[in-house]
Structure 1
Amino acid sequence: MAEETENENSLLPANDRIVKINIEDQMKSAYIDYSMSVIVSRALPDARDGLKPVHRRVLFGMEELGVTSGKPYKKSARIVGDVLGKYHPHGDSSVYDTMVRMAQEWSLRYPLVDGQGNYGSLDGDPPAAMRYTEARLRKIAEEMLSDIKKDTVDFQLNFDDSMEEPTVLPTRIPNLLVNGASGIAVGMATNMAPHNLTEVIDGTVAYIDNRDIEVSELMQFVKGPDFPTGGIIYGHNGVREAFETGRGRVVMRAKAEIEATKSGREIIVVTEIPYLVNKADMIKRTVDLINEKKIEGISEIRDESARDIRIVYEVKRDANANVVLNNLYKYTSLQSSFSVNNIALVKGRPMLMNLKDMIHEFVEHRHEVVIRRTKYELAEAEKRAHILEGYLIALDHLDEVIKLIRNSDTPEDARVGLMERFGLSDLQARAILDMTLRRLTGLERDKIKEEYAELMKTIEYLKLVLSDESLRMQIIKEELIEVKEKYGDERRSLIVHSAEDMTMEDFIDDEEIVITISHNSYVKRTPLSEYRRQGRGGKGAIGTNTRDEDFTEHIITATAHNYMLLFTEAGRCFWLRAFEIPEGSRTSRGRALQNIINIPKDDKIKAYILVKNLKDQEYLENNFIIMCTKQGTIKKTSLEAYSRPRANGINAININEGDQLLEACLTSGKSEIVMALRSGRAIRFNESTVRPMGRTATGVRGVTLAGPEDEVVGMISVDSSEISVLVVSEKGYGKRTDIDDYRITNRGGKGVKTINVTEKTGNLVAIKGVTDQDDLMIINKSGIVIRIGVDSLRVMGRATQGVRLITLKEHDEIASITKVVREEDENLDEENVEGQQTDNTDLTDDVNTEEQ
């Protein structure tokens, strides 16, 4: 029993050697080690030479193997085996795949390996096995390895400590920018686009000349990515963003031309495709989309590619080739995007870099390489000069040296004797003993003196280089320009300065249009040219086939690309692009507005504002929207508050119970406002008397109503004395009056008489600010439209009855008027729809001089 206990106790020290640790801590530690290994030693390129370790090892291994551009090709298997055994202890496929990619002209903008044999294709075909293919370095790759034997870069031990490998290459090529890189690490990824060598070197030289250069100035040299497969970079915003921040989305398009065949059929010929797109997969996917009816108008696709790409899409006779091509861009890889993410290792740490950062890191690296190379060359030159000095001493005392050597018993005695007699170093003494007899001839003696003299000049120059940074920068510039002259070429990818994304605007001409909105909220757009102009007093042309009890309330002139801000009577604002409104003929009803925007069924559009765009911040901040309600309230808000479209609209103004929004207009902040009442009165006041308010405010009093039956019928903003005020009554009478006839009063007053309201004229229905260059479009409730020139209406007094603008049938009334800008080449058509001449003789100007 005692023996058993003793044996058990003897086991305890072994158990004491087991260290208990928290598994969570161990997992964290192990995963961080693994992550850092992937980031630093596998997935991310070095910012200096733009290479990952595997690329660097392949190039260095080929250099060491002597497979340079001037030597015969060697079997790929031999190269892979050498790199695998010496530097990269991973799978042979990782090394071979890396070498293959560096040889593919469609993968790298400037391939570094010269491959012979089957190296794959753009269709995604795999390369032949490494036993069948051969390779050697290209000349441009030798520029990356230039001076590597001159102590220009640090070396580290390989995986088994048996030999050394470089930590970075002393590249003369800004490879990170020129060839790009991609890789997925742990928690981060990199995706760097290739660029044109000529442009990058021009940009680098500009940076050397001016270290404070801005990215925008560098972009004058480096225009954008330059992909090996060419194609078109569609839009410049993504490029600029990538250059400035290190992240951005570059849209790439295939290069396509529309051609006509001998038979008259149209074909689309694609000669360049976006970078990294698999041609065979793209064609197969396009065929699938045609079969699914997502793309229409293509009868056949042929891949006629040989050495160069040529894909032919035959267009059906009844199809538009431009529309087909735009659909191909939209649905297939003929348009794709390259997401730039410039992450590379700077001093062993991953960093996101913009264009200037990448150029800076390359220049700093080249600067260090030049310093180290110069130091090495200086040391070698001084070592050689030291030996030549010994030679010269020996030659000056030749007979004595020969006698000393002859009388010495051993080479060692001779060496010691030379050192003691002539004060030579051990290196000099050995060099003299190693001299051949032919060096003692007169000609050889002269050569030694010449070499020494040249060497002293070189040493002086190298010392000057080490002491002068500007001279070193000049050397870097000269070497870069030399590289550019050797390898620089023309840009392959064309940059098109246009919108980055496909939008409907690409399909729609920015033509002038008329937008009509009916009482029951039916909307349509019609080309302005469909409406002809008539003489004053005409019967008008049929404008709309309206439903029972429906009539057109708004006639808006715009261009197809304008933004429309629509304001409802409940005080909400909605956005609509003019081209989003369905097109209809002049006589068609249109489409319900509720089907286009999310307007509530019990709400109606009462006012509109046309805006060119909503992205110009200065424009947004210096313009205002002024709104008025039927009860005479007015409100002013900055346009910027309405610059962010929302599908469900926003509150534009708080409307009191029993009131409703009537009008909204865009102003510069310095206009004058005129508001007109149904009772025939109007008020004029400065816009500056209305302070800007937020979107949800109610506003302030603009005008005082004449009674419970009175209401505001319209509002105009006036910013020019050339504008005259046009008012129209419901029975078809109207008149123009000078704006100066309306004196400026305080906001909130009762105003002055603007038209003499009688039973003959009816109440006031509209007020507009017009000039002689405007036309009027008048529409009545029965759907009749007339277009007349404002210049046919003479300016008359403020308190007059006016003249008849349109001949109304019994019980008909004017529903709406709007002004349109006259086209210069438009001819006045004096005929009305019934073929009768306009008769102006019975039009009366009933003047009433009474002013109130």
Structure 2
Amino acid sequence: MNEHIQSLPLEDVIGDRFGRYSKYIIQDRAIPDVRDGLKPVQRRILYAMFAEGNTFDKNFRKSAKTVGNVIGNYHPHGDSSVYDAMVRMSQDWKLRHVLVEMHGNNGSIDNDPPAAMRYTEAKLSKLANILLQNINKDTVDFVQNFDDTAMEPMVLPANYPNLLVNGSTGISAGYATDIPPHNLDEVINATLKIIDKPDVSVDEIMKVLPGPDFPTGGIIMGKAGIKQAYETGKGKIQVRGKVEIEKLRGGREEIIVTEIPFEVNKSNLVKRIDELRADKKVDGIIEVRDETDRNGLRIAIELKKDANSEGILNFLYKNTDLQVAYNFNMVAISDRRPKLLGVTQMLNSFIMHQKEVVTRRSQFEYDQAEKRMHIVEGLIKALSILDEVIEVIRASKNKADAKQNLILKFDFTEAQAEAIVMLQLYRLTNTDIIALESEQEELKATLNELSRILNDENYLKQVIKKELKAVQRAFKEERRSEIEAKIAEIKISKEILVPNEDTIVSITQEGYIKRTSPRSFGASGFNEIGMKDDDMLLTYHESNLQHVAIVFTNKGRYIYIPVHQLPDIRWKDLGTHISQIVPLDAQEQVISMITVADFNNDTKLMIATKYGMIKLSAMKDLEVTRYSKPLVYMKLKNDDIVQTIHLVTGDEHILVITKFGMALHYSLSEVSETGLKAAGVKSINLKENDEVINTEIIYPDSTLLIATQRGAMKKMDIDLFEEGKRAQRGLMVLKELKLNPHFVIGAYVLTADMQYVIYNENNKKDGFTKDIRKTDRYTNGSFIVDDKVFGTIHALRVNSIE
């Protein structure tokens, strides 16, 4: 052999080879034929079993024998791929009507593997015989097998629309297919409708074929998706398992799953539900049990007393395969190429195939009947001149001579002469003559019938309809899947996801936050909170795991944290820094925290800044669904910072105290409600270089406590401050001194005796507010410390007495 080497670009060679490979796996491996709904491996398995007589009316045969026959004669691939395809055709949770009956372990809905093929036995199902019926009557084309030693069919006669009945799934190069199973009775009704009215609309088809019918049942939601798929070949539906709520003793309930979505692995579903229970992703589930037995599928989900069964069920629909999306992608091989087909195109292709099959079968039967009629006519003619025929045969030398003499003397044909010389003597009785005449009449009727089928299109359709109805009567079953017009909305309440447990939420000035069980809080005592030496408790709240914590910073941003997501830490241990939960900017500090049970209320936030801005915003504006970063609650100008946040109704009165000792009293009704990102309005008219120290809510019989940097503290009745208007300068609360004047470093409105602490750089001094003497507005108060000894005071802190 002469060597011939070609120099070709690699991309050309790879492109050409991959193109051939793609064409092969699209046409001859992964995508089903629109006519019989089978992939090549499935067709070869069914034909091999049929050819070997391994049919429904015979005994079961070892699966390994069938697999060996298939790979030896028709399908030159691995035995496992053939056996897997054979097993799938026997699994009643994968196919709406199985095509192979199997004895032994053929897998399970838990995706357990089947027993090896040497242990299982199989034969064709009764319905598979319908696919192969009349295959030996020249109904379909045959081609040579891979080694030219046998012939195999290119397609099966398929006397019912198997592609829609059993569906298909497959992936090839550039193409994939997902065709759901349907109810045979409904599919045949749709086919009959199209035969009668070829231009029938999808809406009319859906009156008899409302949607898929999965072998595992379930609830199909979304008729719009079904209609879109039936029109275009692509569409999306939701498939939900069928469940019921059972009552148990003691007021408890149990969710019972009796049907699961198509192609969902039951054991994985049970495992996933149990993982959600163990990880406490859902509250209220005690135990998950797989109680499936020979009577049917059953998953029991036992719930706690007073658990919200509907809410838990909705959570499972959203977070497990108890509800899945099914995407139609109805690709099939039509005219030797892959096409995306709607249901009308699929059924029209099947009808065209049936017309060809019935026509070819009728032609075959017509030719056979015509040949037989010719023989019968010759036999009847021979029997009418029997003596002369016998005489000619007796005078002949041999069989060939006898045939020749009969042809020459009586004008018989070759075929008739052959039948006469082969005639047995008992056939010469009078009974046989009558039988031949009767057969002649039957043959005439048969030929007339077949001729009508071959020459009358309408009669051909009637024959197809009659045969479809026969299949329908023999194999019709009740629908298993329910269909709902719309996709149900899944609403999950917070109570399902998070247990209803009380907790204590605390945060320190340095930003260390935690939640603590009431038991740990009670055991440690209020003063034993865990924090750093130079830190102090900012606030704490009795809350619930179902609440939300809102942490405000001085940069006009807030952090939204569901309480159950906070770290659960003992009261005496240090919390987690807020920046480890959500990143903060440099110099950004925590100034307040609230916990919220319900955002839909009339509560408002009063926000006041260092440079005299104020705003009111609705509490409901704080609620968000995405909270991975800080969110803005007030737009700040220049280097302004937020100092004070209070929860209000909007009708309260406030007192604004500044560093230079100015105090302004006015009603919050003067401040209009604005959105979160607004900058607010002017609260007080500040002198040059002055700044707001605090903005406090005032109450009847309350007092104002202030501290100065020189260590003086004074207490005044709120009645001393007459109500003014927003944005005014206010009244003086300190006596003016030209030399070493006092500046306010802290101010609080008091409603009861409270504990105070004053700080300098290195020291602190505490006491009780009841020990501070009340004065008028025109004094500088009493010196609590000697500033020459204690140092300049830079902060005042007031806490309730525990």
TM-score (normalised: structure 1): 0.59
Aligned amino acid, residue 306 of structure 1: D
1:377 to 2:365 alignment: yes
Aligned equivalent of 2:690: none
C-alpha deviation, 1:158, in angstroms: 0.3
1:632-664 CA-to-partner distances (Å, cap 9, x unmatched) read xxxxxxxxxxxxxxxxxxxxxxxxxxxx9x9xx
1:88 to 62, 75, 86: 75
1:52 to 2:22 alignment: no
1:765-802 CA-to-partner distances (Å, cap 9, x unmatched) read xxxxxxxxxxxxxxxxxxxxxxxxxxxxxxxxxxxxxx
Aligned equivalent of 1:734: none
In structure 2, what is the Cα distance between the partners aligned to 1:125 and 1:314?
26
2:29 to 39, 42, 51: 42
Aligned counterparts, 1:104-183, within 5 A: 104-183=91-170
**Contact residue 251 and residue 306 of structure 2 kept, 8 A:** no
Aligned equivalent of 1:350: 338
**Contact residue 113 and residue 136 of structure 1 kept, 8 A:** yes
* Max Rg structure: 2
Aligned equivalent of 2:461: 473
In structure 1, what is the Cα distance between the partners aligned to 2:161 and 2:341?
14
C-alpha deviation, 1:474, in angstroms: 0.7
C-alpha deviation, 1:243, in angstroms: 1.2
In structure 2, what is the Cα distance between the partners aligned to 1:478 and 1:385?
27
1:362 to 2:350 alignment: yes
Aligned equivalent of 2:293: 306
C-alpha deviation, 1:244, in angstroms: 1.6
Aligned equivalent of 1:32: 19
Aligned amino acid, residue 25 of structure 1: D
C-alpha deviation, 1:412, in angstroms: 0.8
Aligned equivalent of 2:452: 464
1:323 to 285, 307, 311: 311
Query: Which runs of 5 or more structure 1 residues have no equivalent in the other structure?
Result: 1-12, 509-580, 604-659, 663-810, 813-852
**Contact residue 245 and residue 256 of structure 2 kept, 8 A:** yes
Aligned counterparts, 1:187-336, within 5 A: 187-307=174-294, 308-336=296-324
**Contact residue 594 and residue 600 of structure 1 kept, 8 A:** no
Which SS does the other structure have where 1:448 is aligned? helix
Aligned amino acid, residue 345 of structure 2: D
1:20-68 CA-to-partner distances (Å, cap 9, x unmatched) read 2222211111110000001011000000000000000000000011011
Aligned equivalent of 1:418: 406
Q: Relative to 1, partners in 2 of residues 1:68 and 1:14: Cα closer, same or farther, differing over 3 Å?
A: closer
1:451 to 430, 434, 439: 439
In structure 1, what is the Cα distance between the partners aligned to 2:76 and 2:477?
37
Aligned equivalent of 1:405: 393
In structure 2, what is the Cα distance between the partners aligned to 1:116 and 1:108?
17
Aligned equivalent of 1:649: none
Which SS does the other structure have where 1:369 is aligned? helix
1:798-818 CA-to-partner distances (Å, cap 9, x unmatched) read xxxxxxxxxxxxx99xxxxxx
Aligned equivalent of 1:615: none
Q: Relative to 1, partners in 2 of residues 1:14 and 1:484: Cα closer, same or farther, differing over 3 Å?
A: closer
Which SS does the other structure have where 1:220 is aligned? helix
**Contact residue 178 and residue 197 of structure 1 kept, 8 A:** yes
1:81-115 CA-to-partner distances (Å, cap 9, x unmatched) read 11111111110011111111111110101001111
Which SS does the other structure have where 2:208 is aligned? coil
C-alpha deviation, 1:584, in angstroms: 3.8
C-alpha deviation, 1:427, in angstroms: 0.7
Which SS does the other structure have where 1:51 is aligned? coil
Q: How many residues align?
A: 526
TM-score (normalised: structure 2): 0.63
C-alpha deviation, 1:485, in angstroms: 0.6
1:70 to 48, 52, 57: 57
C-alpha deviation, 1:591, in angstroms: 2.0
Aligned equivalent of 1:593: 621
2:423 to 431, 435, 445: 435
C-alpha deviation, 1:600, in angstroms: 8.3
Which SS does the other structure have where 2:207 is aligned? coil
Aligned equivalent of 1:485: 473
**Contact residue 246 and residue 341 of structure 1 kept, 8 A:** yes
C-alpha deviation, 1:14, in angstroms: 6.5
Aligned amino acid, residue 242 of structure 1: A
Aligned amino acid, residue 394 of structure 2: R
C-alpha deviation, 1:161, in angstroms: 0.4
1:419-471 CA-to-partner distances (Å, cap 9, x unmatched) read 11111111110011111111110011100011011101111111111111010
Q: Relative to 1, partners in 2 of residues 1:72 and 1:99: Cα closer, same or farther, differing over 3 Å?
A: same
In structure 1, what is the Cα distance between the partners aligned to 2:634 and 2:280?
39
Aligned counterparts, 1:674-689, within 5 A: none
Which SS does the other structure have where 1:357 is aligned? helix
Aligned amino acid, residue 211 of structure 1: P
In structure 2, what is the Cα distance between the partners aligned to 1:595 and 1:503?
17
C-alpha deviation, 1:134, in angstroms: 0.4
**Contact residue 239 and residue 323 of structure 2 kept, 8 A:** yes
Which SS does the other structure have where 1:233 is aligned? strand
**Contact residue 237 and residue 500 of structure 1 kept, 8 A:** no
Which SS does the other structure have where 1:251 is aligned? strand
In structure 2, what is the Cα distance between the partners aligned to 1:24 and 1:269?
58
C-alpha deviation, 1:505, in angstroms: 11
C-alpha deviation, 1:164, in angstroms: 0.2
C-alpha deviation, 1:339, in angstroms: 1.4
In structure 1, what is the Cα distance between the partners aligned to 2:632 and 2:446?
87
**Contact residue 387 and residue 431 of structure 1 kept, 8 A:** yes
Q: Relative to 1, partners in 2 of residues 1:503 and 1:424: Cα closer, same or farther, differing over 3 Å?
A: farther
- The percent identity for this pair of structures is 46
C-alpha deviation, 1:328, in angstroms: 0.8
**RMSD across aligned C-alpha pairs, in angstroms?**
2.7
In structure 1, what is the Cα distance between the partners aligned to 2:392 and 2:492?
98
In structure 2, what is the Cα distance between the partners aligned to 1:588 and 1:317?
37
1:673-693 CA-to-partner distances (Å, cap 9, x unmatched) read xxxxxxxxxxxxxxxxxxxxx
Q: Which runs of 4+ in 1 moved over 6 A?
A: 504-508, 586-589, 597-603
**Contact residue 311 and residue 493 of structure 2 kept, 8 A:** no
Aligned equivalent of 1:563: none
Which SS does the other structure have where 1:252 is aligned? strand
In structure 2, what is the Cα distance between the partners aligned to 1:504 and 1:43?
40
In structure 2, what is the Cα distance between the partners aligned to 1:359 and 1:262?
53
Query: Which runs of 5 or more structure 2 residues have no equivalent in the other structure?
Result: 497-596, 606-617, 636-671, 675-722, 725-802
